[in-house]
Amino acid sequence: MDGKLKILDWAQSDRPREKLQEKGKSALTDAELIAILLGSGSRKQSAVDLAKEILLSIDNDLNNLAKLTLPELEKFNGIGEAKAIAIVSALELGRRRKQVSPNQRLQIKNSQTIYDLMIPELLDQPTEQFWIINLNRSNTLISKKLVSLGGISGTLVDPKVVFKIALENFASSIILVHNHPSGNLKASRSDIRITERIKDAGKLLEISVIDHIIFTDQGYFSFSDEGLL
């Protein structure tokens, strides 16, 4: 025994993977993040100690780490080809991310914006689908997610599934969207009933339902525009 603690001997909250899960990625040091990529160290070093050795050799400068080649990384005891490739790949992704400008997210301003957003998903669909659009506090699009698929005349929607998706996407508000393959632009009793159920459930979770769009190939019906929300 060399007296060194292995990562498995550490307190659970200090282990890199567990620390990331409990406290978030920003709580980890550079060495701990690299250790997660490494997965394991050597017989004499934990993955974190090996990561610290690598960082020390490049003056703790991640820009210098990105310049290391596979053979240079493999010179460290405990790093083989697979670990070296993992490090190089992760840093290359970071480099490419810097080259891409974040896409300007769509802000939902009216029902026409919603309809246009859903055209790629629902135009010419032969069966009913139910979607939710997740928005942040400024009504800016976070994501659009399919909730359920149905038949020609209807689809079942579980409010629990709707809000599970909304919570997973950190939505402040949501928009409900489903299509009528028949082209009927009227809201059915079941459409109105499920809208009310989801709206009421959203109040408890402080996630507002700001519209429900019935989509057809020829146009749409907005619950908000018609004063039904």
Residue ranges of the chain whose pLDDT lies below 50: 1, 3, 5, 11-13
| pTM greater than 0.75 | no
Burial, 137: exposed, middle or buried (Cβ in 10 Å; 0-12, 13-18, 19+)? Answer: exposed
Provide the pLDDT for residue 126.
87
Specify the fold of 111-222: Cytidine Deaminase; domain 2 (3.40.140)
Provide the pLDDT for residue 100.
57
Domain ranges of the chain: 7-99, 111-222
Provide the pLDDT for residue 99.
62
Provide the pLDDT for residue 7.
56
Provide the pLDDT for residue 55.
95
Q: In the chain, helix, strand, coil percent, each to 5? A: 45, 15, 40
β-bridge mates for residue 176, sequence order: 132, 212
* SS3 label, residue 137: coil
Distance CA 213, CA 224 (A): 8
Provide the pLDDT for residue 22.
84
**Helices (H), ranges, 39-182:** 47-57, 62-65, 70-73, 81-99, 111-122, 159-168
